[in-house]
Structures are given as C-alpha cells and as structure tokens.
Structure 1
C-alpha cells in the first residue's frame, strides 16, 4: 500500500463505488488535493460528485481503492474512527440546510466547536463572528423555523467554517440561495478558507462557481474526464494554483 505524496492533504487512488441497486457511481477516480487548495469537482447532475465527496470524507465506504488523509488511511478505518475524523478534522455543507430545530442559530453554529471540547463562551464568541461574516448575525437568537431557507443555508455555512476544519467538503453549498446572493456567499467562503488555510472540495455544476476555485476536476459518469488548471491566485490570497495528475 503506497502512502500519498507529502504535499497532498487528501489523496485517493482508483476509487470505485456502486449503489445498492447495483448501478455504478464511481469508476476508478484518482486525485490528490494539496493543503489549502480549493478544488472544484464539476459535472452534470448524476455524474458522481456527491458520491466522491462522501467517499473522500469517510461518509461512504468504498468497495475498492484507497483514500488517505495526510498519513491516515481512511479506507481502512473502522466506522467509529471515521466518525471521529469527520468530527475533528472535516467540515461538511449540504445543498439543503440541516440545522437542529431545538437549538437557536448561534447554538447550531457553535455545536461543532463544543463537540470538539470548546467551552460555551468561546464557542459562542466564534459562532457569532462567523454569523456576522455570513450576514446573519442579527438572527443569532432565532430558531431555524423562523428563518428563510437562504438564511438557514448561511447558518449552515457558518457552522461548517466556525471550527476551522482541515478539509471542508461543500456539496453545492449555494444551491438554496438566490443568484444575487451566491457570489457574495461564495467569496466569503473561499476568502475565509484561504485566510485560515482550509482545504476545500467544492462540488458544483455551475461554471461560475467552479471559476472561484484554484483548480477544477470534471466528472462524467463517475470518471474524471479532464483537469482544468486555473491561473495562479494573487499574492494577497496566499498562494499559487496547484497542479494535479489523474
């Protein structure tokens, strides 16, 4: 079993995944993601984007292939160890906001921090800072049912960013937002990720969303079909675009 390259925080080789009904979802996907990189996974609906992110994050066990997070072989971890890895090192944004209805907005946002052991005061302070960045700070004491769907999604994004995960998996994160809001929210997400050194895997079927990433890998029918290398980001954004061979 070959360990991943030292400069890759996430690395996968020959991933295969088949749905319960026997239909293939991934057919031999290999890729590497460098630390701090924002990688867009593009493709039409049904191309395998969500399945790839779920496999890479340990949410779905692959039938064949390897997944490494730094020096940890995710593909050999037991379910409890994968759950601990997701809690402590990964963040996740779904296309549809999934908030705890009994908790208010700041408590939802602070929840991952408290699960990691942060005290309530520190978790609340960090949560409120992120809610302000996502323009929902004034709804901090509201409950999810009192929010519009776009507001709930902003809270979900704040919740994912608040604990500063090593890797953030964002599956169509702006899908519930109006087009006018998407660019602003995506800029907030990508700027925050770069400033905190967060590696992002961003699944999208929209070209304008993929354009905000450092690099794009396209999927079609569960296979990588091309890699698009974008120009280097500006010096103020912290680094140059990364390369990939698949």
Structure 2
C-alpha cells in the first residue's frame, strides 16, 4: 500500500468494481487536489457515478485503494465511513431529494439539525446559503411550490451548509433546462470556490468540461473522461502549461 501525494485531498489507485458480473470500473486511478473543481465526463453507463461513490466511501471497490487526506478509506469500517461522509463530504443527486413536509430553509438546515447544532445556528447558516444560491426568497416555501431549478439549488445549499471538505455532485443539472443548468452550475462552482471546497462533478455538460460547443470558458479546473469503466484522458484548464505528464500521470 503506497501513500498518496501530499497535495491530493482525494486519491484512488487501480479501482475495480463490477455490478452483477459487468465491469463498472476497470483499473481507474485518479487524484484530486485541494480546492480543485474536477469534472468526470463520459456517456451514461461509463462509470461516473460508480467512481464518485467509491471516492466518497459509499461503495467499496472489489480491488484498489481510496485515500482521503492520506487516510485509507478502503480499510475503514462502515460506521467510520458513515461518519466521514457526514462530517467531511457533501453529496448532490441528479434529482433533488427534499423532505416535502419541510420548508426550503428547513431542508437546507437538516444536516446541521441532525448533527445537533442549535436551531438558531442551523437556520442562520441555511438562510445564508440559500441567499448565496439565489433562492433566499423561497426560504419559507415547501418543495411542491418551488420550480425544479429552485429545488435543486436548495439541495445544493443542503450539501454545502456543513462546509464539507469535498462536495460530490452526480449530474446535478441533468433534469434542468439549458438556462437553468447554466445558472445552477455557476452558483455551485462560485460558492465552492469562495469557500475553498473541493468539488468532484460527474457531468456531460460542455459548460463544465469545455468540450465542443461551449461558448464560455469551462467551469472545471480539470476534466477526466471515462469510457466503458476506463479512464481515457484528462484535460486541465490553466493559464500556463502544466508540467509534462502531470494531467494524465494517473491514467488507467
């Protein structure tokens, strides 16, 4: 077992995962730097969600290693991994999963209330994040009264309210229209950068990856692509050239 590089907040080596006998990841290795916004791109079924679940400790690979801040996640027991996800990670699903009986601010504050924070502190933090994500006026509304894009931004606020070290976002704009996708992506990445949060974002949106057809600069610092469970290439967005081999040094 080899310790990861010091400047990587997340590091995975030679991940192998199969679902019902079909390979989902085949020898994928990847490193994520602190404060980086990393896009994981590729067609549906290529292994993006499986990779995010492995990196976040939700899924244990059949083979391979996952490290968080030089701590081996792949050797942790279930309770320790659950505590890691609760205290250090945030997660956003493709579809907003909100509690229908709760208001927007209560949904956003839920992780803080569940871990024992005071009602007043949790409400204050939730309202601040809703304002940052442009849904402050919706704070007292319940999910059924919100637009799809508003519900997704409430979900993002809930994921960010605990100030996670790493935020995992699995196709967070998949159900949204183009204009709503752009707005949600901008607010998500801006909020993460302003608070130094590392983001691992599974997507096929060109606004994130900078692929053909995107009019503006990509929102991600770097993009890695998967195809049939394998890592095929990486592209880094930088003002100056990256040292030779740096972007793809962990390619499968």
Quote the offset at 1:40 in angstroms.
Answer: 0.4
> Which residue is 2:230 aligned to?
223
Answer yes or no: is 1:156 the counterpart of 2:160. no
CA distance in 2, matches of 1:113, 1:26: 34
Match of 1:236 in 2: none
Structure-2 separation of matches of 1:52 and 1:119: 35
Check conservation: 2:41, 2:223, Cα contact below 8 A: yes
Deviates more, 1:23-32 or 1:138-147: 138-147
Deviation at 1:227, TM superposition (A): 0.7
Q: Aligned with 2:179: secondary structure?
A: helix
Query: How much has 1:244 moved relative to structure 2?
Result: 5.1
Question: 2:77 aligned with 1:73, yes or no?
Answer: no
Where structure 2 has 5 or more consecutive residues not aligned to the other structure, the ranges are 210-217, 241-245
Give per-residue Cα distances to partners, 1:48-93, cap 9 Å, x unaligned: 0011001110111111000000122111111111111000000001
Q: Quick check: 2:149–2:184 contact (8 Å CA) kept in 1?
A: no
1:18 and 2:18 aligned: yes
1:177 aligned onto 2:176: yes
2:7 corresponding residue in structure 1: 7
Structure 1's consecutive aligned runs of 4 or more residues displaced over 4 angstroms after TM superposition are none
> Counterpart of 1:110 in 2: which secondary structure?
helix
Question: Unaligned stretches of 5+ in structure 1?
Answer: 234-241
Contact 1:50 1:171 in 2 (8 A): yes
Aligned residue for 2:162, secondary structure, equals coil
8 A contact 2:26–2:229 mirrored in 1:
yes
- Farther off after superposition, 118-127 or 213-222: 118-127
State the partner residue of 2:194: 195
Q: For 1:184 and 1:222, how far apart are their aligned partners in 2?
A: 30
**1:78-97 to 2 correspondence within 5 Å?**
78-97=77-96
Q: Distance in 2 between matches of 1:145 and 1:185?
A: 19
Q: Write the distance in 2 (CA, Å) between the matches of 1:192 and 1:147.
A: 21
Give distance in 2, aligned partners of 1:177 and 1:140: 21
Match of 2:166 in 1: 167
Q: 1:146 matched to which residue of 2?
A: 145
Shift of 1:129: 1.2
Counterpart of 2:249?
A: 245
1:153 touches 1:176 (CA, 8 Å); kept in 2?
no
Partner of 2:111: 112
